[in-house]
């Protein structure tokens, strides 16, 4: 979600809310498939989790807006020998942002003796999914709190922008 070039605080909070929303959707999918013992490929459902990353190339101070050097803007480049003009581009224009990808937990689920289950092996055991509802609920609470924190920061940035316009 691109908010605006003049309000990077809004953009950062919106990115954070977007990531947490994806995480909550994935957790909801895990909980919904808690008792799924056979997927399309014949295996039990594997718990999915979200990997969030940003490459070190994306942490370039020129693209993140975290440039510690002060650049002066002048009318004539001959006045200052190491003059570098200030760009009117957004500091986030070249930043591909935060990437998130779904990964599957490869750990095995619990093996339960249920000879009457249609997915039971010849010994009567069924391989269950590796989803733990307690872990998922804890992750859901953490994602909800993170979403709320980003929403609070978003609203604070929005209020600061409104107050600036009233000056």
User: Do the domain assignments include residue 88?
Assistant: no
Give the pTM: 0.69
The pLDDT, as a whole number, for residue 139 is 95
What domain range is 112 assigned to?
Answer: 8-45+108-166
User: Do the domain assignments include residue 94?
Assistant: no
User: Do the domain assignments include residue 145?
Assistant: yes
Distance CA 15, CA 23 (A): 12
User: Do the domain assignments include residue 72?
Assistant: no
Q: Over 70: is that where the pLDDT of 81 sits? A: no
Total domain count for the chain? 1
Q: Over 60: is that where the pLDDT of 61 sits? A: no
User: Do the domain assignments include residue 77?
Assistant: no
User: Do the domain assignments include residue 2?
Assistant: no
């Amino acid at each position: 979600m691109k908010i605006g070039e003049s309000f990077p605080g809004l953009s950062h909070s919106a990115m954070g809310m977007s990531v947490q929303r994806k995480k909550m959707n994935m957790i909801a999918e895990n909980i919904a498939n808690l008792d799924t013992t056979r997927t399309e490929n014949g295996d039990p459902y594997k718990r999915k989790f979200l990997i969030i990353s940003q490459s070190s190339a994306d942490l370039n101070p020129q693209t993140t807006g975290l440039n510690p050097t002060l650049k002066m803007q002048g009318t004539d480049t001959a006045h200052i020998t190491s003059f570098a003009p200030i760009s009117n581009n957004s500091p986030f224009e070249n930043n591909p942002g935060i990437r998130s990808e779904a990964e599957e937990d490869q750990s095995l689920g619990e093996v339960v003796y249920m000879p009457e289950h249609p997915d039971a092996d010849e010994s009567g055991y069924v391989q269950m999914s590796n989803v733990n509802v307690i872990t998922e609920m804890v992750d859901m609470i953490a994602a909800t709190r993170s979403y709320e924190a980003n929403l609070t920061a978003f609203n604070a940035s929005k209020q600061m922008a409104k107050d600036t316009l009233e000056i």
